[in-house]
Amino acid sequence: MTSTISWAEAELSAAALGDARLTRRAVVIAQAFAAHPEASVLGATRAAGAGAAAKAAYRFFDNDRVEGAALIGSHRHASGFRAAGERVVLAVQDTTPLDYSAHEGTQGLGILTDPYHFGLWVHTTLLVTPHKVPLGVIGQQVWVRPAEETGKKHTRKQRPVDQKESRKWLAALKETARFARALPRTRVVMVGDREADLYDLFRRAERFRQPVLIRAAQDRRVEGPERRLWPHLEAQPVAGTRTIETPRRPSQPSRKAVLSVRFAPVCLRPPGERKGKFWPTLSVWGVLAREEAPPEGVKPVEWLLLTSVPVENAADAEERIEWYCCRWVIEEYHRVLESGCRVEARQLQTAERLRRCLALDAIVAWQILYLTRHGRAHPQEPCTSVLSPDEWPVLYAAAHPRRPVPEVPPTLREVTHWIAGLGGFLGRKGDGEPGALTLWRGWRRLQDFLLAWQLFQEHTSHPPPDDGCG
């Protein structure tokens, strides 16, 4: 990703839209969205100097030949190139609702958490390195929940998984396994929270030979004297401790937590309602991470992780804990998508148009999160890995208006702080590293500066003709 333009072309040029003009239009819209992520469709295209592209953008989102899956598919292909050199990558997943209740005229929406809010449900699979650098969106499922689904929670155990929304995890597993086959030298591990604790998922993961790491939600039946999952892990000796930093929450600041670590092989027995149906036991490994001495008044951290990746010693167990910590990146990604891209403010009148727009917004949201996380993981890397030959000098001039632009490109850490400064980051002692939304605001200002510089360059290289008036 060397610039907004080359980034958009790299991510979307292979989009299977069946028409070169549609693909090019997708690139132009992505460029406009990346430069002005908080603006409306009309505002972004106009602000980016796209002129008549605003009408073209609305026609693009109204075109039945445009499929969001094709746009994500092209980006997924580019993500594979970024992952090819990694030993391990994590396919972290989460679900978020997008609320369009304020746009009453929008057709085709479904209910959200109650019958009075309407919108779309989105399940995203984000590829992340163990250093928490997002490499790309490799899957995105979007659906509406029919009103008649309200009140069926009590029947969930009687319905097969393919008739419940839980099938999103199985679809994501299949999608991840297909992606992993293209990276034979990289271990791709699917990571899910407690909602993904499904017997069917572990069974199909074994069939697909797809590594998984899932936080347990149920005290499942297991083979052994303890007979249940939690007692089985609690009976194991403490193998060591691991210190993690919890993410900041609205009601709780980030903090460090010291976790005791236990691990053991586990044989999961099939759920009780499937006895007599010849469902097999499943062999996995369990890791119990528990905060033994939390601060007063704070709920302790406790994770019981189930994984198909062998855990043979304390170092393996601690690594699995670090892998699960990477799941927080998907929550940050969804915040960027909702607050940075303001996807819930899109007014496109139909759910199908919103789906197509969401595919582009999803890729743009990844771009700024990549800049944030890549800069933290590789602070001394030259900024030319992220910024173009035009972008970084313009940024330097904006951050240092009285200094000449240096010949040697600055580091990633320097440019991320300068971009964040344009977005309001003060960089005081104790402020830490800038967040994605602050960087996004700075990125938007940088694109305005860049556009002004490019227009100035064009004007000075092509002066107006002499009108003969002196």
Q: Which domains does the chain have, with CATH numbers?
A: 4-65+348-372 (no CATH), 68-148+164-340 (3.90.350.10), 381-460 (1.10.740.10)
Residues 436, 367 contacting (CB under 8 angstroms): no
pTM of the model: 0.84
- Stated as kind and residue range, the H or E segment containing 240 is strand 240-246
pLDDT of the chain along its 470 residues, tens only? Answer: 334 435 555 566 555 555 666 767 777 777 677 666 666 666 666 555 555 566 777 777 777 777 777 778 878 888 888 899 899 999 999 999 999 998 888 999 999 988 889 999 999 999 999 999 999 999 999 999 987 766 566 555 656 676 688 899 999 999 999 999 999 999 999 999 999 999 999 999 999 999 999 999 999 999 989 999 999 999 999 999 999 998 877 677 788 999 999 999 999 999 876 555 678 899 999 999 999 999 988 899 999 999 999 999 999 999 999 999 999 999 999 998 888 778 888 888 899 989 988 888 888 888 878 888 887 888 888 888 778 788 889 999 999 988 999 989 999 888 888 988 888 888 787 777 787 778 877 877 887 788 788 777 777 765 555 555 44
CA atoms of 139 and 436, how far apart (whole Å): 21
pLDDT tens per residue, range 81-91? 889 989 999 99
Closest C-alpha among 312, 304, 333 to residue 213:
304
Cα dihedral: 379, 341, 139, 307 (round 10): 60
- What ranges in 308-379 are assigned the alpha helix state H? 314-325, 328-335, 351-377
* Neighbour tally for 151: CB within 10 Å: 8
Burial 268-289 (b: 16+ CB within 10 A, else e): bbbbeeeeeeeeeebebbbbbb
- Rounded CA gap, 134 and 217, in Å? 26
Neighbouring C-beta atoms of residue 356, cutoff 10 Å: 24
The span from the CA of 325 to the CA of 378, in Å, is 19
Residues 6+ apart with CB under 8 A from 288: 230, 233, 234, 236, 261, 262, 263, 302, 303, 304, 305
Angstrom distance (rounded) from CA 220 to CA 179: 30
Q: What was the pLDDT predicted at 34?
A: 67
The H or E element that residue 139 is part of is: strand 134-143
* pLDDT at residue number 255: 87
